[in-house]
Amino acid sequence: MIYFLQGLAVGAALILPLGPQNTLVLRQGIVKHYAFIAATFCVLSDAILITSGVMGGSALLQKSPTVLLIITWAGVLFLLWYSYGLLKEIKQPAVFSASQPSSATLAKVLLTLMLVTWLNPHVYLDTLVLLGSIGSQIPAQQRYHFVLGALLASLLWFYLLAGIGQMLSSWLTRPAVQRGIACGVMVILLSMAFRLTKEGVILFNQIFHP
């Protein structure tokens, strides 16, 4: 039980900060269009990544410091690029309404989620490296408890976001609220980028200046 709670706590700490995935799920909730399908995609993606990390992916990745260095700096670039997109949105919030049908098809929604999930190096650092390294220290026969706890945090959070988006859609579509959300997400992403930059510098020095 202790490992399940540990997985739940660590998983929640990593998933709760708003990022690209969370923002997209929230928006699908606001327009009431494929919100829970989007949440399910995120949960399944987390299931694959977290399980892979805890069951050995973390150790494999950390044996290749150069690959880890590339992922780290790619994560910095991705977060800066996404933050730039949010900056443009702060200046001019997107216009969408729950009362109007969304033009996005299911394929487009899933493709966008796939891009911000599987092409976001920060996701690999959080799941494969951080969650994986913590989970790998747990006795092998107990690791599935840790994985289940982390997955429960993911499931609860993404479905909660989809539900909140639908319940508060009339309020969340206001331009001022959209600007506030975009500002909050951008601050979080930039802080992540700053943390990754420090880690990238440390890794670079370890590899090239041992």
Q: Each residue of 25-43: pLDDT tens digit?
A: 988 888 888 999 999 999 9
Average pLDDT along the chain: 84
Q: Averaged over 99-112, what is the pLDDT?
A: 74
On the question of pLDDT at 56 being above 80, the answer is no
Assess whether pLDDT exceeds 80 at residue 100. Answer: no
Domain ranges of the chain: 2-208
For 105-122, give one letter per residue: b (16+ CB within 10 A) or e. Answer: eeeebeebbeebbeebbb
Handedness of CA 155, 161, 163, 164 (dihedral sign): positive
Given a cut of 60, whether residue 96 has pLDDT beyond it is no
Distance in angstroms between the alpha carbons of the first and the last residue of the chain: 41
What is the three-class DSSP state of 82? Answer: helix
Tell me the two tokens of residue 148: 């289940």
pLDDT for residue 63: 74
pLDDT tier at 153, thresholds 50, 70, 90: very high
Which range of 50-54, 72-76, 139-143, 150-154 scores highest in mean pLDDT? It is 150-154
Percent of the chain with pLDDT strictly greater than 70: 91
Is the pTM higher than 0.85? The answer reads no
Contacts of 173 (CB under 8 A, 6+ apart): 30, 96, 97, 98
| DSSP codes, 2-62 | HHHHHHHHHHHHHHSS--HHHHHHHHHHHTTSSHHHHHHHHHHHHHHHHHHIIIIIHHHHH
